[in-house]
A and B are shown apart, each in its own frame.
Chain A
Amino acid sequence: DAMVIQNPRYQVTQFGKPVTLSCSQTLNHNVMYWYQQKSSQAPKLLFHYYDKDFNNEADTPDNFQSRRPNTSFCFLDIRSPGLGDAAMYLCATSRVGTYTDTQYFGPGTRLTVL
């Protein structure tokens, strides 16, 4: 009964080789988030979707893009991964993205850049 699913769980890519991470949800939530978490660091919000509306954080590098083709799926594209992009990428969802809503997290995708 997994609610937020991320694939793959582990991804290895080469420096500069584009990579796509996938997130799907069975909760039918309106909001989907992507966070980057480096070792022993706080999760950092990259961007989020409210339905089809995309909201980019001001300090998210242009190298990171996202797509949400439908309610259930959201993708994180890293166009030219650098060594500094190695991290755990966490997808989360919430019902309507307000202060009453808990965010539900997936298990994460650990990205290694060689």
Chain B
Amino acid sequence: KQEVTQIPAALSVPEGENLVLNCSFTDSAIYNLQWFRQDPGKGLTSLLLIQSSQREQTSGRLNASLDKSSGRSTLYIAASQPGDSATYLCAVGAGGSNYKLTFGKGTLLTVNP
């Protein structure tokens, strides 16, 4: 059974700092990995999707990497801003004809002005 772990559970940084969020998964037989953002009491917004054949994806100040063999992904946020404060969730996609996402519990990020 796939298990997804995110470390740390919470992170507080001053504005402007670069930071890294970590995600690990137990079964490397995945099709893709996605990073989502969740604001308090809201739904999830997809940030980046990395196919299993890819090593990284970039969008603006965000860069996500994937090392499928070691079961790890990182989300790098450059020059953090208070508006980046949210919970960031990692999800791995697998299952072939019954493709589905398995989520981690997320990292709660607070960026202090």
Do A and B originate from a single complex? yes
Size bracket, chain B contacts: 20 to 34
Report B69-85 CB contacts with A as 1/0, cut-off 8 Å: 00000000000000000
Main secondary structure of the interface of B (DSSP, over half): strand
List which B50-93 residues lie within 8 A (CB) of chain A: 51-52, 89, 93
Residues in A whose Cβ lies below 8 Å from that of B93: 99
Question: Does the CB pair A100–B51 fall under 8 Å?
Answer: yes
Question: Are the C-beta atoms of A99 and B51 separated by less than 8 Å?
Answer: yes
From A14-22, A62-70, A71-79, A102-110, give the one contacting chain B: A102-110
A84-114 vs B: 1/0 string, CB under 8 Å? 0000101010000111101111111010000
A55 within 8 A of B: yes
**What residues of chain A lie closer than 8 Å to B89, measured between beta carbons?**
42-43
The B14-35 residues at the A interface (CB cut-off 8 A) are: 31-32, 34
Whether the pair A42, B99 counts as a contact (CB closer than 8 A) is no
Partner of A108, one of B43, B101, B105: B43
- A102–B34 CB distance below 8 A: yes
Inter-subunit contact B99/A99 (CB<8 Å) = yes
List A contacts of B44 (CB < 8 A).
Answer: 43, 90, 92, 103, 105
Residues of A within 8 A of B52 (CB): 99
CB pairs A–B below 8 angstroms (8 shown): A6-B43, A40-B106, A45-B101, A92-B44, A98-B31, A99-B32, A103-B46, A103-B101
